[in-house]
């Protein structure tokens, strides 16, 4: 299996990336870690004459905390950068843990958050936890910069709001008084498996009352989705296990999973119920923790 011929550019600025994308139009594609793109090129499922590498753009790599803005993650930040970030380990361990349970070490060393979200695979692991934390995507195009909430970024499997000549530059998690957040990936194997169901939540408590809650689901709809009915069932109510069960039932009713080789739609729905409840409980009681990968055979 050979990679088809292509022209290769490694521009020094993000503006140059947009210019090249505009110049070459649909013949060109951005190359970040290449863990998705190169596989598809080799398989012949896509074909581009021009690849525009982001490898020279160090300003897009890394995680910073900016007072008044929040945690800013560059699009070229790798999954292992997320795992090893002191900032995330302190503020949102749930993100580090979500990244830790993705793929194997080699892929985590080169796969990036930008590629993970732009790829728009419904089962991708990073979108649910970032959506649950209210993340905002910053996009640069020839007309300038714009921002889009991550939950509105996806328009269908493999589809996003990104125009052909735009690049994702940053993902920002705004400062918020969240009590805790959590992501549970449920897969068929302990490692190297795509999510059968992914459930993320973030909760803000005031005493025993749930002041705010965000729940995001992966692999159970054409796009990563918020479970807004489940959220509404929680907000303003006193935390009890029964209430979390009600939220789990609501989430399982509002998702729209398909049946495939990794699980039936009915099974996925039931797992949404189970893991929504579990994720919420962890967000409330453990803070910004992650959960270890669950498999069909248990932990």
Ligand X SMILES: Cc1cc2nc3c(=O)[nH]c(=O)nc-3n(C[C@H](O)[C@H](O)[C@H](O)COP(=O)(O)OP(=O)(O)OC[C@H]3O[C@@H](n4cnc5c(N)ncnc54)[C@H](O)[C@@H]3O)c2cc1C
80 binds ligand X (CB under 6 A): no
> Is residue 223 a contact point for ligand X (CB under 6 A)?
no
Nearer to ligand X, 192 or 236 (CB): 192
Question: For residue 253, is it left (φ>0), alpha (ψ between -120 and 50) or beta?
Answer: alpha
> What is the number of alpha carbons within 13 Å of residue 18 lying toward its C-beta?
16
Which residue number, 36 or 294, has a Cβ lying nearer to ligand X? 36
Helix and strand tally (H, E) in the chain?
A: 11, 14
* CA dist., res. 183 & res. 166, Å (int): 29
Measured distance CA(136)–CA(115) in Å, rounded: 16
- 35 contributes a contact to ligand X by CB under 6 A: yes
Q: Is there binding between residue 29 and ligand X (CB under 6 A)?
A: yes
If one asks whether residue 146 binds ligand X (CB under 6 A), the answer comes out as no
Footprint on residues 120-139 left by ligand X (CB under 6 A): 124-125
- Which range in 26-34, 81-89, 171-179, 221-229 contacts ligand X by CB under 6 A? 26-34
From the list 34-42, 63-71, 176-184, 201-209, the region that binds ligand X by CB under 6 A is 34-42
Whole-angstrom Cα distance, residue 113 to residue 20? 22
Instruction: Based on the shown chain and the rule CB under 6 A, indicate whether residue 119 belongs to the binding site for ligand X.
Output: yes
Helix 241-254 and helix 265-286: axis angle, to 10°?
140
Token readout for 258 is 């398909």
Q: Which residues bind ligand X (CB under 6 A)?
A: 29-37, 39, 75, 102-103, 107, 111-112, 114-116, 118-119, 124-125, 167-168, 192, 194
């Amino acid at each position: 299996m050979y990679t088809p011929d292509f022209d290769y550019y490694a521009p020094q600025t993000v503006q140059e990336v947009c210019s090249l994308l505009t110049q070459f139009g649909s013949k060109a594609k951005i190359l970040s870690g290449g863990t998705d793109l190169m596989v598809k090129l080799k398989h012949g499922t896509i074909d581009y004459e021009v690849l525009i590498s982001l490898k020279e753009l160090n300003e897009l790599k890394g995680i910073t905390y900016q007072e008044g803005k929040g945690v800013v993650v560059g699009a070229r930040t790798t999954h292992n950068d997320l795992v090893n970030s002191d900032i995330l380990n302190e503020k949102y361990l749930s993100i580090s843990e979500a990244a830790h349970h993705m793929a194997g070490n080699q892929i985590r060393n080169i796969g990036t958050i930008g590629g993970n979200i732009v790829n728009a695979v419904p089962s991708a692991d990073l979108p649910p936890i970032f959506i649950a934390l209210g993340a905002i995507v910053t996009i640069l195009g020839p007309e300038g910069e714009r921002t889009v909430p991550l939950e509105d970024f996806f328009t269908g499997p493999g589809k996003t709001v990104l125009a052909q000549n735009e690049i994702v530059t940053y993902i920002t998690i705004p400062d918020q008084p969240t009590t805790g957040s959590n992501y549970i990936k449920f897969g068929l194997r302990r490692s190297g498996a795509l999510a059968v169901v992914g459930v993320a939540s973030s909760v803000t408590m005031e005493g025993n009352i749930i002041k705010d809650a965000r729940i995001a689901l992966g692999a159970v709809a054409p796009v990563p989705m918020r479970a807004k009915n489940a959220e509404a069932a929680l907000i303003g109510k006193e935390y009890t296990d029964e209430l979390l069960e009600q939220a789990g039932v609501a989430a399982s009713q509002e998702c729209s999973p398909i049946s495939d080789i990794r699980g039936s739609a009915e099974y996925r729905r039931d797992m949404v119920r189970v893991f929504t409840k579990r994720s919420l409980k962890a967000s409330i009681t453990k803070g910004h923790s992650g959960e270890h990968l669950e498999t069909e055979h248990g932990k």
